[in-house]
Amino acid sequence: EEPLLPQQLEFFEKKIRPVLATQCYSCHSAAEGKNKGGLTLDTRDALRKGGDSGEVIIPGDPKNSLLIKAMHWDPKEGLEMPPKTKLDEGTVADFEAWILMGAPDPRKGKAASIKKVFWTQEQADNHWAY
């Protein structure tokens, strides 16, 4: 894969990453231990892998990317993301532009698996942070 151009990196960091972090990671992040729909979005590989419904982005093709359909709350797809508040059209347009340019993404790392860790009360009581 070719290195990102400075303007691609700036676009991702200013317009895409903040929305992913504030609107998506609470339900779709390995770091948060959440992968609703089998989808995590906190690495490039995870985003490209998709979830239970398949690929969520098709680089270069925003019209057929499930992520964009979900952001538009497309009734044919039955997805409304984020579920509580529809994103403004400018934000959706930014994601469309990003996917159209090939979805350049500087994030490294493989798609992480979600592992839930449950502690006994005794373990929690003895942990330094509690």
Q: Evaluate whether 41 touches 47 at the Cβ level (below 8 Å).
A: yes
Residue 112 lies in a domain: yes
| pTM score, whole prediction | 0.80
Which ranges constitute the DSSP H helices of the chain? 6-11, 17-19, 44-49, 66-71, 89-100, 121-126
Residue 117 has pLDDT above 50, yes or no: no
pLDDT tens column, 25-71: 999 998 888 889 999 999 999 999 999 999 999 999 999 999 999 99
Respond yes or no on whether the N-terminal peptide bond of residue 82 is cis (omega within 30° of 0): yes
Instruction: Provide the domain limits for residue 108.
Output: 6-126
Residue 120 lies in a domain: yes
**Residues 6+ positions from 31 with CB-CB distance below 8 Å:** 25, 42, 112
Distance CA 85, CA 93 (A): 16
Residue 1 lies in a domain: no
Residue 76 lies in a domain: yes
Residue 103 lies in a domain: yes
Residue 19 has pLDDT above 80, yes or no: yes
pLDDT of residue 120: 60
Q: How many domains does the chain have?
A: 1
Bigger pLDDT: 51 or 115? 51
Chain-wide mean pLDDT for the chain?
A: 86
